[in-house]
Chain A
Amino acid sequence: MSGGEDADLVRRCLSGDQRACRDLVRRYERPVYSVLMRVVRRAEDAEDLVQETFVKVFRALDRYDTERPFSAWVFTIASRLAIDHLRRRRVKTVSLEMSEPGSTEERTRDVEDPGLRPDEITSHAEEESRAARLIDSLPEHYRIVVVLRHQQDLSYEEIAEALNLPLGTVKARIHRARALLKDRIAGPS
């Protein structure tokens, strides 16, 4: 997705060009849905969140800083909505993060979140690649950073800003997620 084309579409949207608005939505609908679906893993919830994302994007379009990549801005809004959604959905909470007093380093418990029911996993898995199944096997706070990094090509800094996390935490999570994936690909030894 080219930043120049995005900026042009945004400018035309702001001047009232409805075709540009449609093009902008068409351009980002699938990537945003993919990220949200990977994170929340329920199609209905993901679609509601995509809709909510675009409503927020268009409401704040006149405040969008064209110096920033539009994609990063859209994924920031989508990611925050996804996190809020997961927070609301998680009724029985288990803290996945442990921090030691005086330390900025994050340690994480590797807990498999229940996510999809077995039948839902099967129905998705039948159609999806091994990569998708691997991603689905990750805890949700790892899934979101890995998807933003590897599917949407966001930089560590952009992910940190999108998720409102320290840069070090983002790096640690991505490294840890990849290490988990490496072990899972290698299989039980």
Chain B
Amino acid sequence: MNRCRESLKVQDWLDGTLAPEEAARFEAHRARCPECEAEATAYRVVFGELRALPLLDPRPELFDRIMDDVLPQHAPRWVKALGWTYAVTFSASVATIGSALFLPGPGAWVRGLIAAGMRSLTGTGTFVLRSLSDGVATFGETLAGGGSAGRMLKLAWATLAHPVVWITIAAAVAVCAGVLWWMRPRERETGEMPHVGLLGL
């Protein structure tokens, strides 16, 4: 326990908030007061530790989040992604059509590619249509009393068990989930931006 009243000035002295004359008086006192000297030594350690307090780094994406909010023309991520997707698709289409029209070599592989794609598409379409028509027919039979619920379930199971169907369903669910996650509401202020005008944008 410190009993010297002057020791109350130690923090202000170290902080540089004592008036010059008062600081000089305290320094003279400290030189002959072991209690104040000990107190000053202890507080020097505290001040040293506080000076060593490191700055912390936020995650790098915080900067983009901030700029999304403070710069109005800074398009949201999903708009940018959509734009890039359109641009890439458009460029690929132009390149493909161009090569098919003007280059005999690449034209052959493009035609082959298109033919293979069409065959695949037709095959898938045929399968889907057949499954649908079978399903409708069976459903009709069931409604008419000619089928059974078991047969319906069996058919549904057989349809779902086909890799093309469940891969398609799984892909659709994944894409929908991804899009919904991307567009999820974020907790941020989205009110008016009075600085839009002042930034001249």
Contact = CB atoms under 8 A, between A and B. Distances in A.
Interface residues of A, number: 48
A29 B42 contact: no
A97 to B, nearest CB: 21
A131 to B, nearest CB: 4
Interface stretch (A12-20, A66-74, A88-96, A114-122): A12-20
Interface of B: 11, 17, 42-43, 45-47, 49-59, 62-63, 65-67, 69-71, 187-189, 193-195, 198-201
B69 A130 contact: no
B51 to A, nearest CB: 7
B54 A128 contact: yes
A169 interface: no
Contacts of A43: 58-59
B71 A18 contact: yes
A185 B69 CA distance: 43
B119 to A, nearest CB: 51
A150 B50 contact: yes
A59 B43 CA distance: 41
Nearest to B187: A48
Interface stretch (A1-9, A102-110, A158-166, A175-183): A175-183
Listed from nearest, the 9 A-B pairs whose CB atoms lie closest are A16-B200, A150-B50, A131-B49, A33-B58, A58-B70, A34-B56, A131-B53, A34-B55, A16-B199
B43 A47 contact: no
B193 A29 contact: no
